[in-house]
A and B are shown apart, each in its own frame.
Chain A
């Protein structure tokens, strides 16, 4: 099993490359991601750079969420891209790569994501609420962004309201 990277590992801050070859190595990476996601308690998503693999691959599974929510089951997403978003909701986030920290993060309420599966087939799904939050969190990893970059305080909230 590949080791899960935690802060301050610099690889978590790099931009991952798109996947071009849909080969057995990609299949192996997806399996590694699933294994690592299931190993940690309360894990509902993971991104390849968290295992030190700088490729645009994420796995999301909100059937594992502590509170039940609408979801698409286990999503193995290659080259995921948010093509539409609307609304804003606040939620509490934590991250396997940033242990011991949780914070309030605003995310789009509803998103449309285009991605490829393990065979390279293109799919498009619409996701909302908690699952949409997890997908946004994981796609951020592909761009070297961590949730702590987006945490807001009550102070920030009143500042935003007064704009």
Chain B
């Protein structure tokens, strides 16, 4: 029986971390299925789903990850996934929302609250804050599955944009093959 495991890995950034992690995984024949990695300021962060061919390989995986932590100083957490979770394919986004303006508390909350109350699910988000002139600029991009709620979402986000004095754009995504 196959077993999928979610790994969360973080640590001080340097060249060679992905190599070190994949080498350790290769050692116990853990197959990397999906992964997402980025550097937030000086921190390396990575999440990945790995698949073990056999459930009894979990002990070896745990041991190699703990050896990896000791050797590299990385923090590694692992969670076992149920088969239903491991096989679930997230929906494709049908819109992209971009937000930018002067940084102030509550931007992420206001935007995501408008989305959550309409049942709009976020599948990907990136944010960044940068010094600019006298203050800070805040930028956010979200991919979401809006479905039939798209028109209502646009109206709600228009209000959020006025309330917070930030610019919000909703880009509708078409799906055709060219």
The residues of A with any CB-CB pair to B shorter than 8 Å are 40-46, 65-67, 69, 89-96, 102, 104, 130, 133-134, 137-138, 147, 153-155, 157-159, 161-162
Contact = CB atoms under 8 A, between A and B. Distances in A.
25 contacts: A43-B176, A44-B176, A44-B177, A66-B176, A69-B174, A91-B173, A92-B173, A94-B177, A96-B178, A102-B92, A130-B174, A137-B178, A138-B178, A154-B96, A154-B125, A154-B126, A157-B96, A157-B98, A157-B141, A158-B127, A158-B140, A161-B100, A161-B141, A162-B130, A162-B137
Contacts, number: 88
Nearest to B171: A90
Nearest to B140: A158
A155 B38 contact: yes
B100 A92 contact: no
B124 interface: yes
Contacts of B141: 154-155, 157-158, 161
Contacts of A45: 178
If over half of A's interface residues share one DSSP class (helix, strand or loop), that class is named, otherwise mixed; here it is mixed
Nearest to A65: B176
B178 to A, nearest CB: 4
B126 A153 contact: yes
A119 B54 CA distance: 64
Interface of B: 38, 92-94, 96, 98, 100, 124-128, 130, 137, 139-143, 171, 173-178
A70 B128 CA distance: 36
Nearest to B129: A162
A90 B128 contact: no
B124 A153 contact: yes
Report, nearest first, the 8 A-B pairs whose CB atoms are least far apart.
A92-B173, A157-B141, A154-B141, A154-B126, A90-B171, A161-B139, A158-B139, A158-B128
Contacts of B174: 65-67, 69, 91-92, 130, 133
Contacts of A46: 178
A157 to B, nearest CB: 4
